[in-house]
Chains A and B, each alone.
Chain A
Amino acid sequence: MRLDSLLVVASLILVAVPGQGTPMYAARSARTCDNCHVGPNKWENPPVAERKCNMSCQSCHIDPAGGGVRNASGRFFGQSTLPMIATSPRPTDDWDQNAPLVGRRDRATSYDDNLPVGPNTFTAALEDFDALAAAMDDRWTWGTPRGEPNRYGLLQGRYERLNADPMLRVGADVRFAALGSLYFPMQIDVPVVLHPTHHLTVLVNTGARGRPSGFSDTYDQDHSFYFREAFAMVHEAPYQAYAKVGRFVPSFGLKLDDHTSHIRRAFELDGALPESRVMGVEVGAMPNYPFLNASWFRMAARNRVPASWDISDVDDGWGSAINAGWRDLSWSVGGSAMFRRRDIDEGGDTSTYSLYGVLNPWRNRRNLPVTYQAEYDFGTFQRSSGARTNQAAFYQELNWVAYNSIILLLAHDWADPDDEITDDDDHRVQLGLQVSPIAGVTVDGRLRVLLPALGQAGKDIFIQLHLYH
């Protein structure tokens, strides 16, 4: 009887999730131009200072440091390239990757006059602005910012009928998970992006973190809902330079959305936790193809949950981070450094360094649809006794895109949380399958095996459902 009740409730709460390392998307997006926008017949490369196509997070996300609500380019990629059933023109290279019978068949790169054609230049976009604006059909955005369009923002008409430069954008992101007998909501995000005038954007993302103990624990407890991001940003500048002020997670290493990975959790960069949020200033620039993000911030004590809505509740110490490298069309390399300074009883000092890279041989070999990424982090921290010691973590992931929207994944991460202590390290291996049947829906299933240095190995099956717009 009890189990019947459980099954009924469980069936009502179909669970889920995504979990794709988004830098993998970025690496794969460079296969062809029409992954990210409608291709014109005669594209003229603008000067480097005006280029938006830089293989960096800002190419798809409104936050230049990556993650969260997507811009028109990211949304177009999500419609045209990711899903099994396309609702936008399909990239030419993926013409034979459609699901049979359903979905759009037109190609993003136009080969005849009947297909969508974006403007060739900024000047052309300006000349056709009214016509392009009238052709927009975008239910998740409203208006256009005050002032004349500028050459450093996204151009109308390059993303089919999506509004490339809206004044207001509202998104949604929901993740559910099933882990063995546990069913729980992992995360809910409602980002609102206000772009009242060119060069200025305010992003406020209200979110809730899930808890495996269930719905009531997730949404009834303090700190369940909070500002995950809240910042004002000056941007749309030469070389895609920007500066933002407010609450965010420092830019460091790969922007994985697997928040359980050692390379994020062990260094207070767990994107699911409010404890990872800091308040500060971040500046950066991303011409094609070098990139740089640098931040200075205040933060809460380690493991102290800062106030949900008061983003200034971060007076327990300060830190700084820098993340720089080169993101090319089929590979990228980067390095990061982060320093946190706090009293011992607030978490102590940490100095962390990172080396990482992504490789996408698929761009050059069509019969080799694999992508690989890896990151190695190391540094020092203080135990609660004040003693200084070293820690390290490593993550690597290999994807094989068997078909559009069907991705086989092999991931491995490892950590030694204290190099002086024996038997505290572990390895974790994941074998997964990710499927995106339609835009905005991804199902991610993984067999995860933990191999601790001490004791028994453990395994589980983790299934996620990710719904987003």
Chain B
Amino acid sequence: MSMLKRMRWGVLLSILAACASGDRTLNEADPGIVAQRPAYAQVEPIFQADCVPCHSGTDERAEYDRLFDEARAGRRLATMVAIANDDPGLESCQSIVNNLEDVVEEIFDKNSMPPGAWPRLTSKERLTIERWIDRGASCD
């Protein structure tokens, strides 16, 4: 009986934890946390850390072969898989801009990237990318 009582604490804590939540976006709560006009230099680390490990493919055949051979020589399996699957590359600013529609859909509409059960982008990362796109997604 006492054991059951103890186990109830775990369930109770779960419920309490699940109840917590704010009611404002980061843009509303702390608008100064991200520059109003982020440069690509502020966006790049986010893509490098969260996207490029898989999205390092390319649409150009010659570049495709070169990248694949490089990846194979370095035994970078994730990159090889990404290239083989012909995923859009997000390694450069221009490649991100070329795939901007997909980026917006995956990050903002679906919130489905990084994929699977990996943690999604943080509110600050999303706000940084959002403002960069809203200001024209400049590569300067």
Contact = CB atoms under 8 A, between A and B. Distances in A.
Contacts, number: 172
Given A184-B77, A359-B7, A450-B117, A213 B29 contact: no
A73 B50 CA distance: 41
Interface string A110-151: 000000000000000000000000000000000000000000
A101 interface: no
A416 B122 CA distance: 11
A383 B17 contact: no
Contact of A420 (B29, B71, B85, B117): B29
B32 A385 contact: yes
B3 interface: yes
Interface in A289-320: none
B107 to A, nearest CB: 9
A422 B112 contact: no
A5 interface: yes
Nearest to B20: A416
Contacts of A421: 22, 24-26, 29, 123
Contacts of A393: 17
Contact of A422 (B21, B74, B81): B21
Contacts of B24: 420-422
Nearest to B32: A385
B117 A449 contact: yes
B110 interface: yes
A183 B77 contact: yes
Interface stretch (B8-16, B93-101, B129-137): B8-16
Interface in A423-469: 423-428, 430, 448-450, 452-456, 458-460, 462
A419 interface: yes
B122 to A, nearest CB: 7
A459 B32 CA distance: 34
Contacts of B29: 387, 420-421
B139 interface: no
Given A357-B9, A421-B25, A455 B120 contact: yes
A10 interface: yes
B21 A453 contact: yes
A212 B53 contact: yes
Given A214-B74, A374-B10, A418-B22, A455 B117 contact: no
20 contacts: A2-B68, A6-B80, A180-B115, A212-B54, A214-B74, A214-B80, A215-B74, A265-B119, A372-B7, A372-B10, A385-B32, A417-B123, A418-B22, A419-B20, A421-B22, A422-B21, A422-B22, A424-B22, A455-B112, A460-B116
Given A179-B116, A448-B117, A460-B117, 11 more contacts: A9-B77, A182-B54, A212-B53, A216-B74, A387-B33, A392-B17, A424-B22, A424-B122, A450-B116, A456-B111, A459-B116
Going nearest first, the 3 A-B pairs with the smallest beta carbon separation are A455-B111, A460-B116, A214-B76
